[in-house]
């Protein structure tokens, strides 16, 4: 009788788990969530970017970096009037994620320069809901590109990567628009990875096209 080896088990277990990659982008009032508010969240399915989520949040703290607000063109005063309370906004985002994640599957947070977006989203999920539906599952597209192409970190800027794939080279700094642009880059990277012989990609990167 052949016994399952330690090396076999992780591969077989991973193959049985559906992975749904979700492209996420945020706009904020500053560089870190302990002092600055999360102002908007944009997301789409990385392999089906027509399925989108967007919400603007009421600021939960007054501190702001003027340059950050100038880039996003968001106003704390206006968001205080029209934005969703953070707890409601995060509950809506979680419901959107869970409705699209396959039964028994895993949703994976994907972003360009993911550490920035991740720290705000993770902080707000734990702060307002007490948990993060993404768990610890996050993919940085800059790191993926670096590993795929063997390039230096300094050459993983959005401008460099978008130019390589013939995509728009400037982000709009609107959370949903940027999430969709990230998804386009992600698909381009997967296409190149397949050309390089990464045969496992079609089984690992699951596309969900139905609306629940």
Rounded to whole angstroms, the Cα distance separating 207 from 203 reads 10
The C-alpha atoms of residue 158 and residue 164 are separated, in whole angstroms, by 10
Active site members: 173
Euclidean distance between CA atoms 89 and 87, whole angstroms:
6
Neighbours of 150 (CB within 10 A): 7
For residue 186, which of 62, 45, 56, 50 has the smallest C-alpha distance? Answer: 45
Q: How many residues does the chain have?
A: 212
User: Could you count the other beta carbons within 10 Å of the beta carbon of residue 206?
Assistant: 18
């Amino acid at each position: 009788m052949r016994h399952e080896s330690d090396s076999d088990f992780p591969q077989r277990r991973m193959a049985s788990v559906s992975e749904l990659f979700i492209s996420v982008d945020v706009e904020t009032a500053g560089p870190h969530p302990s002092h600055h508010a999360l102002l908007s969240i944009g997301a789409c399915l990385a392999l089906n970017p027509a399925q989108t989520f967007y919400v603007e949040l009421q600021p939960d703290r007054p501190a702001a970096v003027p340059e950050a607000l100038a880039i996003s063109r968001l106003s704390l005063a206006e968001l205080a009037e029209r934005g969703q309370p953070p707890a409601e906004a995060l509950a809506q985002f979680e419901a959107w994620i869970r409705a699209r994640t396959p039964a028994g599957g895993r949703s994976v947070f994907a972003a360009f320069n993911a550490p920035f977006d991740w720290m705000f989203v993770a902080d707000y999920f734990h702060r307002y809901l007490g948990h993060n539906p993404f768990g610890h599952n996050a993919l940085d597209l800059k790191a993926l590109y670096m590993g795929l192409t063997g390039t230096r970190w300094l050459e993983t800027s959005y401008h460099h990567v978008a130019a390589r794939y013939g995509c728009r080279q400037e982000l709009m700094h609107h959370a949903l628009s940027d999430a969709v642009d990230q998804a386009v880059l992600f698909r381009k990277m997967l296409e190149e990875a397949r050309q390089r012989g990464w045969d496992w990609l079609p089984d690992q990167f699951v596309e969900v096209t139905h609306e629940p």
